[in-house]
Amino acid sequence: MLVGVVEVGMLESHGRKGANIDFLNQVVGDVPICGILSTRSNVSSEESDKYCIYFYRQITSLAGDDSSADYFQISDALEWNICNETEPPPEVDIENRLIFVSSENNCTIIERASRVQKLGGAGTLIVEDKLRAFEQNDTNYNFTLGFIGNSSYFKIMETASNETTAGMYSPKDSPLHISLIIIWILAVFSVSVGAFWSGIVRHKLYLSEQCSGVEYEGGADRPQEPVLPREETSMNLSAKSILIFVVLMCTMLLLLYFLYDYLVYMIMGMFCIASGAAMFSCLEPIVSKIPCGTCRTPYFNIYIVRGTLELRQILLLLFSFGLSITWIVLRKQPWSWILQDILGITFSINVLRVIRLPSLKICTILLSGLVIYDIFFVFITPLITSDGKSIMVEVAKGGASQEQLPMVLKVPNFAYYEIAKICELRDNYNLLGFGDILIPGLLVAFASAFDRQVGTPCHLYYLVNVIV
């Protein structure tokens, strides 16, 4: 089970499809980040074309938006061997211009930017599809330096004229992350509804058991015909069962880490079935209040599935599984996160409704075990793995695979929408694993049931747990 919020894609160039930029010898802390190059046909033009660039914050400071960016005319110096100090500059204007230079010369990016600056250039744009890491030292640099892909460079040159201007900027990080607020609301909603419903179901089952016990003790005849097994008020779990559960979670996470490309499709199929069933379970009480469509099918017995269904239930069944199948077919579409979140919310609510822990002791053992599980796979595994990466984060992101596990709520990072669109970031999402919803949700569900059983006024324990 995946836990934790993971912000994916903003600084991940391998997630880009646009300029096909790969990192070589990447240095932690010195990672290039996305920016935007805006070009205009002339100084007075309001229309602009925008291209993805990369830059190092340790070297370059860019404006926060298009309106505050400084625009300069551009010059193409791709044929210039900028690393050869004895070679004169090309016969193009350099002073107060943004200069496109090649990456194929044997010198550092600092040396290239420094030479352009000495010649009066306003900035340097290195044309390459592979970024070499900038190894930071104690020297403070202040160059206007960016990296642009070959395809973007050729597009610019196709339409460029002597009056074409360009400016670089990088949208500033907003102090208010709308996407995080949305994902928090979705999580709190799932926990609140699922736990409250769980308390209602558990209390009804408890009252039913009490009534049944009184009836049988009073001498009433027990039913002679076979009946369906009675649903238990809570799961019969022990401390040993919880320990086995945590070990199985660890095993599953390790299997996903090493065999992700094979297991991800099995997990997606299981999620598709489980979320479809959860959608049906969540909506069935609402649909049952619709006065029409009450005609029933004949009694059926297909393996473990038996009974009859009303027409409205059949339609709901088709809708529920149709929604999950639609998601799995169209999961690559940019709007598919909406379907995934709807399915994820109903899945979480249904799990909280069905899985009812028997005691506070079991809740405590489970939460304690998962805290250790969480800390180990998020913070300790980077010290063990050869690449220094967290096992849980890598599984949540999908690693090098093009598929991601659906066991998360995901919301696009709206703060970086412009960059995500222009740079074609594949994974510009905030993710929240179901573990962060279900595990605390089980405790809230227990509190909700406790309130009803002992008659706590105003559902006090439930409300306190939801707020906390």
Segments forming the whole domain that contains residue 372:
178-216+232-467
Say yes or no: 136 and 205 in one domain.
Answer: no
Say yes or no: 196 and 323 in one domain.
Answer: yes
Judged by DSSP in three states, 221 sits in coil
Say yes or no: 298 and 444 in one domain.
Answer: yes
Catalytic residue among 341, 427, 436, 451: 436
Residue spans of alpha helices (H) in 218-335: 239-258, 260-287, 311-329
Residue 15 placed within a domain:
no
Query: b vs e for 165-192, b when ≥16 Cβ sit within 10 Å of the residue's Cβ?
Result: bbbbbbbeeeeebebbebbbebbeebbb
Is the pTM higher than 0.75? The answer reads yes
Residue 224 placed within a domain:
no
Say yes or no: 347 and 400 in one domain.
Answer: yes
CA dihedral 6, 8, 10, 11 (to 10 degrees): 90
Residue 74 placed within a domain:
yes
Say yes or no: 74 and 188 in one domain.
Answer: no
Say yes or no: 115 and 209 in one domain.
Answer: no
Residue 223 placed within a domain:
no
CB 17 within 8 A of CB 149: no
Measured distance CA(368)–CA(309) in Å, rounded: 43
Q: How many domains does the chain have?
A: 2
Catalytic residue among 374, 387, 427, 451: 374
Q: Report pLDDT for 166.
A: 93
CA angle 283, 288, 292 (to 5 degrees): 125
Angle between helices 336-354 and 260-287 (to 10 degrees): 70
DSSP track, 187-202: HHHHHHHHHHHHHHHH
User: How many other CB atoms sit within 10 Å of the CB of residue 388?
Assistant: 10
Say yes or no: 263 and 159 in one domain.
Answer: no
Say yes or no: 369 and 281 in one domain.
Answer: yes
Query: b vs e for 360-374, b when ≥16 Cβ sit within 10 Å of the residue's Cβ?
Result: eebbebbeebbeebb
CB 434 within 8 A of CB 408: yes
Measured distance CA(14)–CA(20) in Å, rounded: 8
Say yes or no: 45 and 62 in one domain.
Answer: yes
Measured distance CA(273)–CA(259) in Å, rounded: 22
Q: What is the CATH number of the domain that holds 161?
A: 3.50.30.30
Say yes or no: 136 and 184 in one domain.
Answer: no
341 part of the active site: no
Residue 308 placed within a domain:
yes
Judged by DSSP in three states, 23 sits in strand
Measured distance CA(268)–CA(64) in Å, rounded: 39
Residue 8 placed within a domain:
no
Residue 105 placed within a domain:
yes
Please list the pLDDT of the chain residue by residue as tens digits (468 residues): 444 444 343 333 333 433 333 333 333 345 778 899 999 988 777 788 999 999 988 888 898 888 888 999 999 988 888 888 777 777 788 899 999 998 877 788 888 888 899 889 999 999 987 665 555 555 667 888 999 999 999 999 988 888 899 999 998 777 677 889 999 999 999 999 999 999 999 888 888 877 765 554 455 555 444 444 566 777 888 889 999 999 999 999 999 999 998 899 999 999 999 999 999 999 999 999 988 888 888 887 777 777 788 899 999 999 999 999 999 999 989 899 999 999 999 999 999 999 989 899 999 999 999 989 989 999 999 999 888 889 988 887 776 667 888 999 999 887 777 888 888 776 678 889 898 899 899 999 999 999 998 888 888 999 999 988
Residue 420 placed within a domain:
yes
Say yes or no: 149 and 202 in one domain.
Answer: no
Say yes or no: 241 and 358 in one domain.
Answer: yes
451 part of the active site: no
Q: Nearest-CA neighbor of 70 among 113, 122, 32?
A: 122
Q: How far is CA 32 from the centre of its chain?
A: 21
